[in-house]
Amino acid sequence: ELKVEQNPLFLSMQEGKNYTIYCNYSTTSDRLYWYRQDPGKSLESLFVLLSNGAVKQEGRLMASLDTKARLSTLHITAAVHDLSATYFCAGGSYSGAGSYQLTFGKGTKLSVIP
C-alpha cells in the first residue's frame, strides 16, 4: 500500500524568499503529482512527474522527482502572496483490484506574508 508523507504541513514564508516542500512515498509509484488547492475550492493540477530525474517548472514553482530516494520536491522561488494555498502531492499506483488511483499526502498549507 502506497503511503505519501509531506513536510512541512504548515509553512509561513516571507515574500521574496525561497523554500522547498518535500514529498516522500513508501513504495514504487507510477507517477507523482502536485496539486494546488485554494480555500473552498477544488484541486488544480500543477505537475505530473513521470520518471527519475524529471524536473518541471511553471513560473515560480519547480517540481522534481527522485525515484531512487522516493522523493519529490516542490521548490518555490521568490514567493509572492498569490502563491498562498495548500499544496498536495499524490502518488499514482495500481490497487489490488487493478484500478489506477492516487494517494494524497496531508498537504502543505503555505502562507506568504509581506
Partner 1 sequence: GAVVSQHPSRVICKSGTSVKIECRSLDFQATTMFWYRQFPKQSLMLMATSNEGSKATYEQGVEKDKFLINHASLTLSTLTVTSAHPEDSSFYICSARRLAGVGDTQYFGPGTRLTVL
Name the residues that contact partner 1, by CB under 8 A: 31, 33, 35, 40-45, 48, 50, 88, 95, 97, 99-107
Q: How far is the CB of 54 from partner 1 (least distance, A)?
A: 10
Smallest gap from residue 66 Cβ to partner 1 (A): 18
* Spatial separation of the C-alpha atoms in residues 16 and 104, rounded to whole Å: 28
Q: Which three cell numbers stand for residue 5?
A: 508523507
Nearer to partner 1, 37 or 77 (CB): 37
**CB closer to partner 1, 25 vs 35:** 35
Identity of the residue, 10 or 14, whose beta carbon is nearer to partner 1 in the bound complex: 10
Residue 20 C-alpha cell reads as: 522547498
Amino acid, single-letter form, for residue 83: L
Residue 36 Cβ vs partner 1, minimum distance, rounded to whole Å: 11
Closer to partner 1 by Cβ: residue 98 or 114 = 98
Say which residues have a Cβ less than 8 Å from residue 4's Cβ, sequence separation at least 6.
23, 24, 25, 26, 89, 90, 91, 103, 104, 105
Q: How far is the CB of 76 from partner 1 (least distance, A)?
A: 20
Of 96, 111, 99, nearest in space to 15 by CA: 111
